[in-house]
Amino acid sequence: MFVAQLLFVFSILFIAWCVHEIVTPFLRQQAHLLRFYTLFLSGSIVFVGVAAIDVALNPRAFLLNHILPNISEESFYLFMLAVLVFFTVMRFSYKRALNRSRLPAKIFGFFPGESDRAKRVLFWFFATVVVLSFFASVHPILGYLSAIASFNCIVLMTVLVVHEVIVRQKTEHWITFLVVFTVCLVLSMTRGSGRRDMVACLSTIPVVIYFYRARVLHPPRVIRNVAILGIVSILVLNGYSGLRYRAKNTGAKIDLSYHLETLRSLPMYCLLPPDANQSFGQGAVRLSMVCIEKFELRESRVFEQKPFFNTYYVLGNPIPRFLWDDKPEALGHTLPRDLGFWSTGYVNVGPGIVGHFFHEGGLFFAVFYGWIFGYFLGVFDDLLRYGERHPLVLGLLCTTAGQFVGFSRGDIGVFGVHIIASCVTVGFVCFFCYLIGLPSVSHDTRNR
């Protein structure tokens, strides 16, 4: 089929473009290798590029033990057009926001200074939030909020401890580092986000090492070291994914002893080949084309489009479900039910970023979300330029790492909520430091 061959070539070119966007500015010393933009593009390589190659080579492959509906040639063309439109608009908006917005400078002005006193206050503040979250977990609303805040705080605490042990070489803090990092790993497995939270935890060490030490090395050497760390992280995530699917298939009881056993078994599972349902971008592109078929094309349309759905979803997320009976459910939850996947139990999928566009109304939303997402990526990366050695800024990069990597897989509404939650957590920490009289960081908007 010609269109499948065209998709294969398109995917190869897309992957090459992503690699160019990640590596070339760093080699030219124009941008950091690790930044919010490159995290998103790294995920896009897998969940758009590699996943599209999987579709091109296997147009009728299984997904989640189901055969998906036939995909028309028009869906192939619309998918490629949507990818082209979104990433073009996103890059234009990103470049336009980068170095031009005054917002990052104003935001960074509220961050606390980097004195030893401030770091001690932050450490004990994070520890207090984590401990109190265990008592708040029994409340339906406080439990949800405390779970998000506590995990963000443990990641921020891990960044602080990694900095003290690895960068400042305070060997007396090694035990503290091991305890905090282990707690962070366990918490990353107890929350529903799973792999994305584990990415946040695993990213703390390479992010701190890169911004305090490695970035001054010869660029090819930095790329090699980051690539090695990335491969190790992928192996760990692969092992954890295998353990998750094993628990789901066997009906194992998920409790503290299970998570400790998971940590013990993780090294063995890291080298096992991934399950077919986990490979090749987890079917993100395949599901995106199903969304095109079922929401956009007149001949096969069976579901109603919902304009600005993810905007409503993000804005309405803080409202408890028991106060809002018709509170929107994420597309990744409703799509499997509508397709009949729930005949074998609960299923949650990543419909791909393109699937969201056609769920809401088509190519207009590729432009709409491309512009918004590109602008905020530029703001985040500008903030990183101001605070490239500030523990809270690096902590924000780590807490959102999994969300940005997985954003192109979806569900973008769910990931957007978690990104906002991380920003709110860091903002609340800055406000707390202001209330207790810690001096804010000094900055000069003319020198970055």
**Is residue 16 in some structural domain?**
yes
**Is residue 239 in some structural domain?**
yes
Q: Are 141 and 82 in a shared domain? A: no
Amino acid letter at 61?
A
Per DSSP, what are the bridge partners of residue 66?
Answer: 63
Amino acid letter at 25?
P
**Is residue 119 in some structural domain?**
yes
pLDDT (tens digit per residue) in 378-431: 999 999 988 888 999 999 999 999 899 989 987 899 999 999 999 999 999 999
Number of domains the chain contains: 2
Helices 174-190 and 256-270 meet at what angle, rounded to 10? Answer: 100
**Is residue 262 in some structural domain?**
yes
Q: Tell me which of 222, 246, 270 is where a domain ends.
A: 270
**Which domain range does residue 329 map to?**
2-107+282-435
Q: Are 292 and 400 in a shared domain? A: yes
Q: Are 393 and 250 in a shared domain? A: no
Burial pattern 20-34, b for ≥16 Cβ within 10 A else e, equals ebbeebbeeeebbbb
What's the CA gap between 337 and 325, in Å, rounded?
A: 18
Q: Tell me which of 247, 270, 293 is where a domain ends.
A: 270
**Is residue 440 in some structural domain?**
no
Q: Are 264 and 289 in a shared domain? A: no
Joined together, the tokens standing for residue 147 give: 């779970």
Helices 140-162 and 195-212 meet at what angle, rounded to 10? Answer: 30
Phi, psi dihedral angles at 112 (to 5 degrees): -70, 160
Q: Are 128 and 230 in a shared domain? A: yes
Does residue 411 have a cis peptide bond before it, meaning omega lies within 30 degrees of 0? Answer: yes
Q: Are 265 and 287 in a shared domain? A: no
- H or E element at residue 62: strand 62-63
Q: Are 150 and 49 in a shared domain? A: no
Q: pLDDT at position 269, please? A: 54
Span 314-329, mean pLDDT? Answer: 82
Contact 107, 440 (CB under 8 A): no
Mean pLDDT estimate for the chain: 81
- Taking residue 263's Cβ as centre, other Cβ atoms within 10 Å add up to 14
pLDDT at residue 60 tops 70: no
Could you tell me which residue, 107 or 274, shows the higher pLDDT? 107
Q: Are 188 and 308 in a shared domain? A: no
Q: pLDDT at position 132, please? A: 83
How much of the chain, in percent, has pLDDT values that exceed 90? 29
Q: Tell me which of 212, 245, 270 is where a domain ends.
A: 270
Span 426-443, mean pLDDT? Answer: 84
**Is residue 228 in some structural domain?**
yes
Joined together, the tokens standing for residue 439 give: 């001096």
Q: Are 143 and 249 in a shared domain? A: yes
**How large is the C-alpha radius of gyration of the chain?**
22
**Is residue 6 in some structural domain?**
yes
pLDDT (tens digit per residue) in 20-30: 999 999 888 88
Q: pLDDT at position 274, please? A: 52
Contact 10, 77 (CB under 8 A): no
What's the CA gap between 360 and 306, in Å, rounded?
A: 5
Q: Are 219 and 296 in a shared domain? A: no
Q: Are 207 and 297 in a shared domain? A: no
Query: Which residue, chain included where needed, has tokens 């804010």?
Result: 440
Q: pLDDT at position 245, please? A: 57
H helices of 46-115, where? 51-57, 73-97, 103-108
Q: Are 59 and 82 in a shared domain? A: yes
**Is residue 59 in some structural domain?**
yes
